[in-house]
Structure 1
């Protein structure tokens, strides 16, 4: 077939290819134009700017040579003097001189070259389209068919592409055969030379999230919001839910009860998909202590105590329920920590009572020893909430005088003794840091009470301090933070890094 009347056949091929590969027709047309241009450039000289355009409706092929119009020609192949355009055949298009060229028939080798170019460019276009499509589908749950097994990994058919479920992304006892149907969650897409690598999972927390969206209409409708999902895949999971408006269709409803379903039918359906994974649906709360209580679900909580300036919480439960709260191998409390974003210590009521008694004696001993007070006054101060020398120093004289039996003289004397003891204590901490050859710049940056903990952990230079993570620093400073928040500690680390830069 002559190149002059190939148009209709060419358009039919492009339309069929676009439909088969789910590609853009205009983009495919550009690929054909590029392939033809490469062949004709060899005929008319590669130094010339040879272009091929194909009419999108008729398929007519138009071959042209393009040159810039200029008054100073440095390259006659790509430039033409403005005077020469007066007698030359062609026309001005967008500031360029465009000449029509006759089409030449292709040899067999040239047809083969065009086909190779088309194949290569089409494959690249298809891979790019697949990558963009599945990249936008990250976070989606899909139904797939097992295509083949590669070792312990499962390759699945996604229609236009293949995906892979790594053994680590399957539940421990799950095994699949070729042609098995299953649901999975797209959690990552990576661009590869041979095409996009699409990763799916059945253990990802997002998979459980999407199962709830599909099973619970109220979540899909936006009446209920999933605030958090944590899993020990195949064993146990916790899902935090919340509804800003607890009224739907004129009646009140419970977000937790709605997600669980009548007689637990909704959760049971999800558990069947997850091979019996136990699921706790709990009510989310903006108040962290309340959220912790809800997340512990079936455990009775007597109190929740937060350590000042930290993310550490102590949860007190009745005697006999501590093991239930912690769970087998710490599973329950670990999931609660992840769900609430906190660090939790579980204590029984008797343990908490014993600890309170010990803390009381320690604080009383501190005041008796460092402030030379009798036990009655020391006990009185502890009961009033004073836990350290800093608490006394930072309490105003007027506030101290409001305590029962306190006069101006007693308040002044107590603050003076506490201040003297505190200064002596801080001096000792600094001397100890210097004795261990600590960096003076680090000593200026940190409070005296932090220095002892830093020495104990062999953090003696500004560089050592700057390389700490916030979690490491918080762990080192347990009990000696004196109200320093996590934000303040993070700022200290960043300041150290700036000074070291």
Structure 2
């Protein structure tokens, strides 16, 4: 019997060592799993109501099994309690209130108990392995890793990473790339998510950061931080653009990335399945960077609209197709690279657009300011495009225009102010005709024109306004670049609906202030304790106290 016990001890330790080594987890976790399995088996043998503990020595394999019981005067629960007399037979100095250890004899494992214990140990080890995998990969997000394709399921590629599995989802793959089971693939660790079935490691070969990391591996200057990739944009499998800058004036960032006879960039291109890469010098000047980003097209002029976060680029007529690119690819990548919406116009279109704006603004000044055509055109030529600009500009700036004097400047400002007042009154009448309440006119930042827009959107009361979120009120409408065939007056294609007042350029802070002001009346009905109420209440309490005495 002693030999059998000794063999069992050696076998337990051997199993623990083998599992810990194979699964690459701490041996103590395996020992703990075994102890848990033995405890459960012992409870099945002696009763699940017992508080049974097991201790397995990780060195010798010695197993101790005991039951913890509380010493009481009168026993209510025979499984977890023991009287003082019985306790002193086990432990002489036992007293009421103590918890003592009642040793149990070793148990024999039958087939069912052995199978149940095996399942418990496997589950514990599996949980520990999953936790190890998560801890190993959670801080590696953004790294490139190499793995072997294990299987392809519904278009998603499952990759064996050695100690874990990752998945390249269909939208994270390079289009038209064919991978087979057993192929070695490099990919970017995009995200690691902890889940009950184990960590989910999402990989990508289509993300712009994958290209950045490949360049860092091929270009030592990028790895060392001498050259920095400031921006990257990809149309996976087709074309990509990167903006690079050198922190050492003696090193050309574009040349370093291209390498001798293109060796460095070609290594990246091959890994990305022939994807063409444009390497562009990055510049802090937005206009310069946009010109570089639209290569190989030549750019004649760049106009930046800071309010709408949009850029208008004028190119020669014969460069339109090249600037836009096949299916809009070139301008789309340039837009992603710069983070700006880019509007491509030919010089002819730009000239027509400017002419249309010039005529429209001249007619507006003629009608609103009651001036002749020559004076109106002179204002437009000097850069004035709105009544507000004329009404609120410094009078010296108006008077400095050739042919103007202080009297004319003062008269123009007076007429502009009157025209704005007429426009405001017309908007006020239109707002009231729409049924927009006067209370909305007291809200900060809202003009009568804005109130008309709100009324057309069905927002006519303070409650209607208060129910809006900030984005629903002031979010700007984004526009896609114009495409081939669009004329100069073609409308922008909106990417999202934007806020009701998105066209007026209100900031998010202003939107918050408007909505909070609209919600203020919700709290007007709540009772507010005044000093008089407080003193009156205190006096009543004193009177009640005196009457009781």
User: Which range, TM-score by smaller chain?
Assistant: 0.7 to 0.9
Mapped pair 1:204 → 2:207: yes
> Paired residue for 1:470?
475
> Paired residue for 1:266?
264
SS at match of 2:15: helix
> Paired residue for 1:25?
27
> Paired residue for 1:159?
162
In 2, Cα distance between the equivalents of 1:495 and 1:405?
49
In the TM superposition, 1:22-171 aligns within 5 A as 22-66=24-68, 89=91, 97-99=99-101, 101-108=103-110, 109-171=112-174
SS at match of 2:318: coil
Gaps of 5+ in 2: 480-493, 523-549
> Paired residue for 2:448?
448
> Paired residue for 1:289?
287
The answer as to whether partners of 1:91 and 1:99 remain within 8 angstroms in 2 is: no
> Paired residue for 2:385?
387
Flag the 1:494–1:190 CA change in 2: closer, same or farther, 3 A: farther
Mapped pair 1:234 → 2:237: yes
In the TM superposition, 1:251-400 aligns within 5 A as 252-400=250-398
Give the CA RMSD over aligned residues: 3.6
The offset of 1:388, in angstroms, is: 0.6
Q: Deviations over 1:56-109 (max 9, x none)?
A: 3333323344457899998776578999988851899xx974425144132313
Flag the 1:473–1:185 CA change in 2: closer, same or farther, 3 A: closer
Q: Deviations over 1:22-51 (max 9, x none)?
A: 112222222122112222234444333322
Q: Of the two, which has the highest radius of gyration?
A: 2
In 2, Cα distance between the equivalents of 1:66 and 1:350?
93
Mapped pair 1:246 → 2:248: yes
In 2, Cα distance between the equivalents of 1:372 and 1:70?
106
In 1, Cα distance between the equivalents of 2:76 and 2:403?
102
The offset of 1:207, in angstroms, is: 2.0
The answer as to whether partners of 2:470 and 2:508 remain within 8 angstroms in 1 is: no
The offset of 1:19, in angstroms, is: 1.3
Deviates more, 1:108-117 or 1:147-156: 147-156
The offset of 1:292, in angstroms, is: 1.7
The answer as to whether partners of 1:229 and 1:238 remain within 8 angstroms in 2 is: yes
Number of paired residues?
Answer: 493
Mapped pair 1:411 → 2:416: no
SS at match of 1:163: strand
Q: Deviations over 1:307-334 (max 9, x none)?
A: 2422011112223112211111111111
The answer as to whether partners of 2:16 and 2:30 remain within 8 angstroms in 1 is: yes
Flag the 1:239–1:466 CA change in 2: closer, same or farther, 3 A: same
In 2, Cα distance between the equivalents of 1:345 and 1:313?
6
Q: Deviations over 1:209-253 (max 9, x none)?
A: 22112211222222222222221111111122233x225xxxx11
Counterpart pick for 2:505 among 484, 487, 493: 484
In 2, Cα distance between the equivalents of 1:196 and 1:372?
73
In 2, Cα distance between the equivalents of 1:69 and 1:241?
76
The answer as to whether partners of 1:226 and 1:242 remain within 8 angstroms in 2 is: yes
